[in-house]
Amino acid sequence: MADTRVKPRPDEVPILDGIADLAPRFDVILCDVWGVLHDGVRAHAAAGDALTRFRALPGERPRRVVLVSNAPRPGSAIQVQLDGFGLPRSAYDAIVTSGDLTRALIAARGDAPLYHLGPDRDLPIFEGLPARRVPPDEAEHVVCTGLFDDDVETAEDYRPSLAPLKERGLPMICANPDLVVERGARLIPCAGAIASLYEAMGGEVIYAGKPHRPVYEAAVEAAAALDGLPPAPSGRVLAIGDAIRTDIAGAHGFGIASVLVARGIHAEELGCAAGAPLAEVAHWLEAQPVHPDAVIEVLRW
């Protein structure tokens, strides 16, 4: 599904006040979670309202919202988290996560022993799978879900422990390709940062989640399955996210339109981290390898 649409130049990318005028053009929204729907502490009420309104729009087929997250946990665990943050379930129809795809990759390896590199909060990703978790020197592959302590550590702290894994030729499954996410007002490193370092060291990395095609295919199929319909045409699918590297690049590669939420992980770069209005969007976009079809400060109707 190559993207053959004519993309606007950086100085032509529109800045939206809301998605009300744009939304009727689409049947499916694939929406990022962290940074768009919540900040790691609480839900953004306007974002939940916007998606709820989209789902209520009339059309030839039901409007569907699938949340697509690089969280290294199953979608069921993310739903519990979203409930706690206060996001209404009226805002979405289904959740597809990199954790779901990671589970499929682990299952395909049967009971091959694995080393889990990540915090205990991500252990639900292994529930019900036959794979055995073992120390690194006994493993046949690595599953990286994040840093053990992302409050104080950086990916570089892991270089010494990654070196012997690379020397043994252990492949790494990255359960969260994000480099960083928001947690309140801070940016916290993710599994993608460790995976990028491992790759730079010469290690093999298998990425689950955005910006890679399988998670988009799974999300579009999930939306279609809700109504027993064929997948929506690519021109009727919109991706919304706050990360150029994953959300926008993934949408571009999958051939669907995208909207970049500015007040997310790129807020500092766009000069709007402290509540200031958006500035220098075109200049910033010129330096990016891909461009969204539109930019919005925060997701709202």
- Residue-wise pLDDT tens digits, 246-260: 999 999 999 999 999
Q: Are 82 and 39 in contact (CB under 8 A)?
A: no
Q: Which pLDDT band holds residue 8 (cuts at 50, 70, 90)?
A: low
Q: In whole angstroms, what is the distance from residue 217 CA to residue 30 CA? A: 11
**What distance in Å separates the CA atoms of residue 248 and residue 11, rounded to the nearest whole number?**
17
How far is it, in rounded angstroms, from Cα 27 to Cα 237?
6
Angle formed at CA 96 by CA 101 and CA 47, multiple of 5 degrees: 145
Give the fold, CATH level 3, of 10-98+211-296: Rossmann fold (3.40.50)
Contact between 122 and 73 (Cβ < 8 Å):
yes
Residue that wins the pLDDT comparison between 179 and 106: 106
Mean pLDDT is lowest, of 11-15, 34-38, 115-119, 208-212, for 11-15
Residue pair 106/173 in contact (Cβ under 8 Å)? The answer is yes
Q: Residue 200 phi/psi, 5° resolution?
A: -65, -30
Q: Which two tokens stand for residue 88?
A: 């209404």
pLDDT tens digits along 189-208: 899 999 999 999 999 999 99
Q: Where along the chain do its domains lie?
A: 10-98+211-296, 100-207
Cβ contact 57:63 at 8 Å: yes
**Sign of torsion, CA 69 73 77 83?**
negative
Euclidean distance between CA atoms 161 and 175, whole angstroms: 18
Percent of the chain residues past pLDDT 70, beyond the cut: 93
Q: How confident is residue 1, by pLDDT bands cut at 50, 70 and 90?
A: very low
2 pLDDT exceeds 50?
no
- Average pLDDT on 57-79 reads 94
Burial (0-12, 13-18, 19+ Cβ within 10 Å), 175: buried
Q: What is the mean pLDDT of residues 279-290?
A: 83
Query: Which pLDDT does position 168 carry in this prediction?
Result: 97
Residue 277 has pLDDT above 70, yes or no: no
Nearest to 257 by CA among 247, 266, 267, 265: 247
Which residues are paired to 202 by β-bridges?
none
Q: Which helix (H) or strand (E) holds 267?
A: none
pLDDT of 6 reads: 55
pLDDT at position 94 over 70: yes
pLDDT-derived band at 148, boundaries 50, 70, 90:
very high
Check residue 224 and report its DSSP letter: H
| Domains 10-98+211-296 and 100-207 fall in the same CATH topology | yes
Q: Quick one: angle between helices 213-225 and 98-108, nearest 10?
A: 110
Q: SS3 for 194? A: helix
For residue 116, which of 98, 101, 131, 100 has the smallest C-alpha distance?
Answer: 131
**Mean pLDDT, residues 76-100 taken together:** 95
- Domain 100-207: give its CATH code: 3.40.50.1000
Residue range 14-43: mean pLDDT, rounded: 95
User: Rounded to two decimals, what is the model's pTM?
Assistant: 0.84
